[in-house]
Structure 1
Amino acid sequence: MTTKFGVFYNKEFNCLLLTFNNKPITALEKIENIVILKNQDEIVGINIFNVKKEINKSFIINEPEIYEYINSELKDIMKLQNLPQFLIGKIIKCEKIPDTHLSACEVDIKSEILKIVCGARNAREGIYVVVATHGSWMPNGIQIVKGKLRGFDSEGMLCSAKELGIEEEKFNSEGIIELDEKYHNILGEEFKG
C-alpha cells in the first residue's frame, strides 16, 4: 500500500511542507534541516527548511522534479539515521488471491516474516526479492505504509527494478526483482542495487 503527499512551499521561511495524512501531530523529530511530523509512530508530514533549490510554481507542478528533490533530502535523513530503505527478503509462501491478479505473500527478512500483497506475475515461493518495508520512501516520492488490499494485510512492497530507478536489464526479470541464490547469505540486509 502506498500513500502520496501534498506539497506546499512557504517562500517567507524557505520551507517545503509535505503532508501525508490529515492527523493531529503528537511528536516532532528534527534531523538537520528537516522536521518530521508524527502521529504516534506514523509520519504524517515533513517540513524541509532552508530548501537548497529555487522553488517556483512550475517546480511544485513538475512532479518528477519535486519527487527527485524530496527523495534526495529523504535519503539524507535515512543515512543520518542509518536506516536501510530496501531489504533483501525471501518469499516463503505465495498464494493467489481469488478473482484478482494479486498474490498474498509471506516474506522472510530475517528479523521477521512480513505479509505482503503483490501484483507481479513472477511472485512465487523460494525467490529472493527486494522489500520496501513500512516507512520506506520510493524514488518517486511515495512512502510505503502498512495497509490492506482486498482484505489481506500488506506490510510492505516487493520492488521491481523500474520502481527503484535501476537498470531493468541488470536483473533480467519482468515484474519484481529476482535476486541470485548468493543473496541467501545476506537475507535481511540492505539491498544496494
Structure 2
Amino acid sequence: MTQTASPHGSSFSLVAHLRTNEANGPDRADQIAHQLETAIAVGLIGYGEMLPAERELAAQFGVAVLTLRAALASLRDRGFIQTKRGRGGGSVVCDAGVVTEKERRRRLRERSTEDLRDLGDLSGSIGAAAARLAAARSDHADQTRLQSLADDFRSATSPQDRRKADSRFHIGL
C-alpha cells in the first residue's frame, strides 16, 4: 500500500483503495462519501486526522471540487468529520467510536437477517481464500511484514488503534 503524507503530518492512501472509475453525477458525491466513510470505519483514516485540502482530495478522486464538497457535507451531517473554514482550516475526522455505533445500528436496521448471513458467509469465504493464497504466495519479506502488522495489533492499547491495526493487517494480507 502506498502511503501519501498530508501537509499535516498524518499519512494514509485514499486513491489506491477508494477511487472508482465512475463519472461525475448526482450519485458520485454519495459514492465518495461512502468511500471516505468506509476508510474512517476501518481505520485507514484515524480519529483527529486531517483530510487533504479540498482541491487535492477532489483531484485524487478525479472529481470537481463541488462534487467533493457535497460528499464532505454529507459526512459532516452524519458526524464523521468537522470542518473549519479559513486559514489553518480543513476537515478533521471525528471520534469514530461515537459515529461507528450510531452508523452500525442504522446499517443493521436496514439489513435483513438473510442479508447479514450472506455478508458473514462472504466475509468468511474471502478471508479464508485470502489467507490460503497469502500463505501459498508469500516469501520471507511478506511473512516478516505480516508478523509486524500482527505485532502492531497485539500491542494496540485503544479500540481505535486496534481497529486501525486490524484493518492494516487485513489489507496487508
Q: TM-score, normalised by structure 2?
A: 0.29
Q: TM-score, normalised by structure 1?
A: 0.27
- Higher strand proportion, which one? 1
